[in-house]
């Protein structure tokens, strides 16, 4: 192969085929990951019983730890994610090795009332967040698949840059309504516009799970002692062995004051207690992610019985700080609302880049006839690009429509997500390509448009109420649902228009029929 | 591109890229002058660009034989540093 043209051709092949194999998975990862920027807000929307303006008492930490004394007997670890301006409830978690009680237990705790939140059971935004890198698959299979997809993404981005020689010249030429040419323009625009974002989000995403993919470094440098590595790398403490002697836990308030004094203005975001009520208890305080870029950093470890400071990660090396910053960049928890929306828009651009790449692949090969591979790609495109937003809408609808006291409710929300997606995957078998697109897009538009209506009917927090109350979580969700519905409806109408042009160019063409509800 | 050549390049781009990343981590940990945890973090974070470069190399090399030879050479050098460095 000659350099120059030969190289570009080789990179084009790599971009097109390497990209295609993982594109459906990448679309799902990008879309659910983008929604996860609003993980806390989605969780709040899915718990409408939590009032919009909750008061957070000054001693929320002490009340949360007191609550753990009630529910966390026999545990080896307690965790408190403290409330902040995005999240009015504390998230408590308890881990047990054996004995009575569940191994893992969570509770949304309202420190203002001192009781467990009475909100409906739901996984909330966590469902989409975990799907984003785990796919809810057993044996970490999802995490390996997502890692492979992320590597394919890095390769596709770099090979795409090599292929696309006039990367900035083409950028302002956007041709709408020209079929294949439009998909190419949209693919280039969304790719180039947010190129640094795509690179950083993909690389930092691999960094969040890097020791699952490449455990060799730890195994060589810290044989048989992963916990020592994580402690040295500023990623949390090891659980000390239990002494077997009980001892009361030290008062949390003085430790909080000490942490905030040392950090000069940073708040405590997380309290992590190992071996609570044992003589070997350790309490780790971590600074809130909301206040700074680096994830989970700095942190302090105290003796859990006498409150002595045992270690201070404030002296972390620049390497640790850099890695924590990449991690923090991926999560985006540092961002204030304006920056959060910008990150969200960049994530949407990434999702659109993957989707337009898939549509471009299909459009470029359509006139070559209906080979099985082409039909398969068309089928998967509908089921993923239109089907996944529909499944997410089903998840949100389930949250509003399932009875609040239904047993196993949180799990059923997830089951309905997968059931709707499965239906969207089968539906194109019975329809033509255009029909399948149009019907799934219309179904998605209807489902998203129904969400604000259901808010008004089932929660008493409909769009007008939330707008008048200045409730930006609900207002933001409702407006986003309506914008999503409008976009899906616009795409559905364009499907109809194109079908009319390419098949029967008459006013009575089937595309003008009222949309079929699915 | 013939099928055997394609298979060779695909092997370099998958197994070769993974081995290159793993050998890079080992070499980085072996020669990093600073702390051990820093070496593990720094080597693993930078292993992903190395793997990406290996995949691009697998298809950018002028022939499949060159792709394979380059990958084997790179992996051997990194592995030698990783396992033989003092």
pLDDT at A464 over 80: yes
Q: Is A95 helix (H, G, I), strand (E, B) or coil?
A: strand
The interface pTM score, or ipTM, of the predicted complex is 0.95
Lowest mean pLDDT among A176-180, A327-331, A415-419: A176-180
| Chain B environment of A218 (Cβ under 8 Å) | 40
Question: Where do the domains of chain A lie?
Answer: 1-46+122-216+335-367, 52-117+235-315, 370-518
Nearest by CB: B47 against A214, A220, A322:
A214
Distance CA A509, CA B42 (A): 61
From B24's Cα to the closest Cα of chain A, the distance in A is: 10
Residue A27 has a pLDDT of: 96
pLDDT at A511 over 80: no
Distance CA A124, CA A410 (A): 8
Residue A120 has a pLDDT of: 87
* B6 touches B61 (CB < 8 A): no
Lookup: tokens for A167: 């990367």
Residue A224 has a pLDDT of: 82
* A498 touches A179 (CB < 8 A): yes
Q: What is the pLDDT of residues A372-405, one digit of tens each?
A: 888 899 999 999 999 999 999 999 999 999 998 8
Best mutation target, B19, B40, B70, to test chain A (most A CBs within 10 A): B40
Q: What is the pLDDT of residues A22-72, one digit of tens each?
A: 999 999 999 999 999 999 999 999 999 888 766 676 788 999 999 999 988
Packing angle of the helix pair A125-134, A141-163 (nearest 10 deg): 70
Give backbone dihedrals phi and psi of A364, rounded to 5 degrees, phi first. -65, -25
Tell me how many degrees the CA angle A252-A256-A262 measures, rounded to the nearest 5.
145
* Per-residue confidence band for A495, with pLDDT thresholds at 50, 70 and 90: confident
Phi-psi sector, A332: left (phi>0), alpha (psi -120 to 50), beta: left
Lookup: tokens for A65: 């730890």
Residue A66 has a pLDDT of: 92
Distance CA A228, CA B39 (A): 14
Q: What is the pLDDT of residues A173-183, one digit of tens each?
A: 556 666 677 88
Q: What is the pLDDT of residues A102-111, one digit of tens each?
A: 788 888 888 8
Question: Which of A98, A106, A97, A99 shows the shortest CA–CA distance to A71?
Answer: A106
From B10's Cα to the closest Cα of chain A, the distance in A is: 10
Residue A64 has a pLDDT of: 92
Q: Is A34 helix (H, G, I), strand (E, B) or coil?
A: helix
Distance CA A293, CA A329 (A): 7
pLDDT at A341 over 70: yes
Q: What is the pLDDT of residues B29-86, one digit of tens each?
A: 999 998 888 999 999 999 999 999 999 999 999 999 999 999 999 999 999 999 887 6
CB contact under 8 A, A214 and B41: no
Write down how long chain B is: 86
* A330 touches A208 (CB < 8 A): yes
Question: Where do the domains of chain B lie?
Answer: 3-84
Q: Which residue has better confidence, A177 or A326?
A: A326
Q: What is the pLDDT of residues A435-455, one digit of tens each?
A: 999 999 999 999 999 999 999
């Amino acid at each position: 192969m000659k350099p120059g043209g030969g190289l570009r051709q080789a990179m084009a092949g790599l971009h097109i085929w390497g990209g295609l194999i993982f594109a459906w998975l990448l679309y799902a990862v990008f879309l659910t990951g983008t929604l996860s920027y609003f993980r806390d807000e989605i969780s709040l929307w899915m718990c409408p019983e939590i009032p919009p303006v909750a008061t957070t008492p000054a001693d929320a930490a002490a009340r949360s730890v007191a609550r753990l004394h009630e529910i966390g007997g026999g545990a080896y670890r307690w965790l408190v994610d403290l409330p902040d301006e995005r999240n009015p409830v504390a998230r408590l978690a308890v881990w047990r090795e054996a004995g009575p009680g569940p191994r893992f237990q969570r509770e949304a705790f309202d420190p203002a009332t001192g009781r467990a939140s009475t909100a409906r059971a739901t996984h909330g935004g966590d469902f989409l967040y975990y799907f984003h890198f785990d796919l809810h698959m057993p044996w970490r299979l999802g995490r390996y698949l997502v890692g492979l997809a992320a590597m394919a993404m890095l390769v596709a981005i770099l090979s795409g840059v090599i292929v696309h020689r006039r990367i900035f010249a083409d950028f302002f030429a956007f041709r709408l309504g020209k079929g294949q040419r439009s998909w190419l323009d949209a693919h280039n625009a969304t790719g180039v516009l947010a190129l640094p974002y795509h690179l950083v989000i993909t690389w930092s995403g691999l960094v969040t799970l890097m020791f699952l993919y490449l455990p060799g470094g730890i195994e060589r440098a810290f044989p048989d002692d992963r916990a020592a590595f994580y402690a040295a790398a500023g990623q949390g403490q090891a659980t000390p062995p239990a002494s077997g002697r009980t001892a009361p836990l030290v008062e949390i308030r003085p430790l909080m004051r000490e942490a905030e004094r040392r950090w000069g203005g940073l708040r405590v975001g997380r309290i992590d207690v190992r071996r609570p009520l044992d003589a070997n208890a350790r309490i780790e305080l971590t600074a809130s992610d909301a206040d700074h870029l680096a994830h989970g950093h700095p942190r302090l470890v105290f003796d859990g019985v006498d409150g002595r400071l045992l270690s201070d990660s404030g002296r972390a090396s620049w390497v640790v700080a850099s890695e924590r910053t990449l991690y923090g960049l991926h999560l985006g928890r540092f961002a204030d609302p304006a920056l959060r929306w910008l990150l969200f828009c960049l994530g949407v651009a990434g999702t659109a880049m993957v989707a337009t790449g898939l549509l471009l692949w299909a459009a470029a090969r359509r006139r070559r006839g209906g080979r099985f591979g082409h039909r398969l790609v068309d089928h998967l495109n509908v089921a993923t690009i239109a089907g996944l937003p529909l499944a997410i809408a089903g998840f949100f609808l389930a949250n509003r429509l399932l009875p609040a006291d239904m047993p196993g409710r949180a799990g059923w929300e997830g089951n309905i997500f997968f059931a709707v997606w499965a239906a969207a995957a089968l539906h194109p078998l019975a329809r033509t390509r255009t029909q399948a697109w149009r019907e799934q897009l219309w179904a998605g538009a209807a489902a998203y448009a129904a969400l604000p209506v259901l808010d008004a009917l089932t929660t008493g927090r409909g769009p007008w109420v939330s707008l008048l109350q200045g409730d930006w979580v609900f207002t933001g969700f409702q407006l986003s649902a309506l914008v999503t519905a409008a976009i899906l409806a616009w795409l559905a109408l364009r499907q109809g228009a194109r079908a009319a042009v390419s098949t029967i160019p008459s006013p009575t063409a089937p595309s003008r029929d009222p949309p079929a509800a699915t | 591109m013939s099928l055997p050549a394609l298979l060779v390049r695909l092997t370099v781009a998958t197994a070769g890229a993974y081995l290159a990343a793993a050998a890079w981590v080992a070499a980085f940990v072996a020669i990093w002058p600073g702390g051990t945890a820093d070496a593990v973090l720094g080597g693993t974070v930078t292993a992903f660009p190395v793997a990406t470069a290996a995949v691009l190399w697998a298809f950018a090399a002028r022939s499949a034989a060159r792709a394979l030879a380059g990958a084997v050479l790179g992996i051997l050098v990194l592995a030698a540093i990783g396992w033989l460095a003092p």
